[in-house]
């Protein structure tokens, strides 16, 4: 838990930094979420009530109070992507991972989420995996990207 103390010290304890601290703590978490212990620790370190920390954290859709996978796959649901055949991409991803939106694969490798417009409508349908945006997608391309990530992970495990 010293990691959180370090984040708070790096940012500062002002109230204005609460959201930035929460995001940094979530980023550092192997399960990409804000755990109950993390909330308690942030509350203690910043001297902000736990309910305030929860209230801020729960408002924003990019913050998760539930553990998530190592890679987060976000599929854009807005009209330009929807019209560009988002449905077929989503179906292919769901089938490849065996999960629905809002779920995490049992191996903890992937979570699937929906997201609002990624500012990539000129190459819709678009998805985002972690920090990278992929556009002009086909179902095959989406599956290939996922399989590559899985392979990378397995190679790391074997190395």
Partner 1 sequence: MNKMLDDDQIFNISPGRHVDLDHHCQNGGYSALAKALAQGPETSLKEISDAGLRGRGGAAFPTAEKIKMLRANTEKLRYIICNADEGEPGTFKDRFIMTHIPFQLLEGITIAAFMAGASEGYIYVRHEYPEAQKILRESIEEAERRGFLGENILGSGFSLSLKLFSGAGSYLCGEETALISSIEGKKGRPRLKPPYPTQAGLWQKPTLINNVETLANIPKIIEKSASWYRSFGTPDSPGTKLISLSGDVQNRGLFEVPFGMTFAEIISEYGGGAKTGKAIKAVNIGGASGVLIPPEMLFTPLEYLACSKTGITIGSGAIFVLDDTRSILSNVQNRLRFFLHESCGKCTPCREGLRQANLILDRLLAGEAVRQDVSTLERYTRAIQEASFCGLGQAAGNSLRSSLAYYRDEYLASCRDNKPSFIEEETA
Cβ contacts of residue 19 below 8 Å, gap of 6+?
Answer: 56, 60
Nearer Cβ to ligand FES (70/101): 101
Region of 94-102, 104-112, 122-130, 139-147 interacting with partner 1 (CB under 8 A):
122-130
Report the nearest approach of ligand FES to the CB of residue 154 (Å). Answer: 30
The option from partner 1, ligand FES, none interacting with 126 (CB < 5 to 8 A, set by class) reads ligand FES
Please say whether the dihedral angle defined by the alpha carbons of residues 89, 91, 94 and 96, taken in this order, is positive or negative: negative
Please say whether the dihedral angle defined by the alpha carbons of residues 109, 27, 34 and 58, taken in this order, is positive or negative: negative
Q: What is the C-alpha separation between 135 and 126, in angstroms, rounded?
A: 4
Q: Which alpha helices (H) appear in 29-128, and where do they start and end?
A: 36-46, 50-59, 79-83, 86-97
Report the nearest approach of partner 1 to the CB of residue 152 (Å). Answer: 19
Does residue 122 belong to the site contacting partner 1 (CB under 8 A)?
A: yes
Does residue 11 belong to the site contacting partner 1 (CB under 8 A)?
A: no
Size of the site for partner 1 (CB under 8 A): 37
The option from ligand FES, partner 1, none interacting with 18 (CB < 5 to 8 A, set by class) reads partner 1
Tokens of 46: 């910043």
Cβ contacts of residue 28 below 8 Å, gap of 6+?
Answer: 3, 7
The residues binding partner 1 (CB under 8 A) are 14-20, 22-23, 48, 52, 55-56, 59-63, 77-80, 82-83, 115-124, 128, 131, 133
């Amino acid at each position: 838990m010293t990691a959180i103390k370090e984040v708070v010290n790096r940012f500062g304890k002002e109230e204005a930094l609460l959201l930035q601290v929460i995001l940094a703590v979530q980023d550092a978490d192997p399960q990409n979420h804000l755990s109950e212990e993390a909330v308690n620790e942030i509350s203690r370190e910043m001297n902000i009530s736990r309910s305030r920390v929860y209230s801020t954290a729960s408002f924003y859709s990019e913050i998760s109070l539930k553990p998530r996978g190592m890679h987060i796959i976000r599929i854009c649901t807005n009209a330009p992507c929807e019209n560009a055949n988002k449905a077929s991409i989503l179906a292919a991803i769901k089938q490849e991972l065996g999960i629905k939106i809002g779920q995490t694969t049992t191996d903890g490798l992937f979570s699937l989420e929906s997201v609002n417009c990624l500012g990539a409508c000129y190459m819709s349908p678009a998805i985002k995996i972690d920090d990278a945006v992929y556009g002009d997608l086909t179902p095959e391309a989406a599956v290939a990207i996922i399989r590559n990530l899985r392979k990378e992970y397995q190679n790391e495990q074997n190395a």
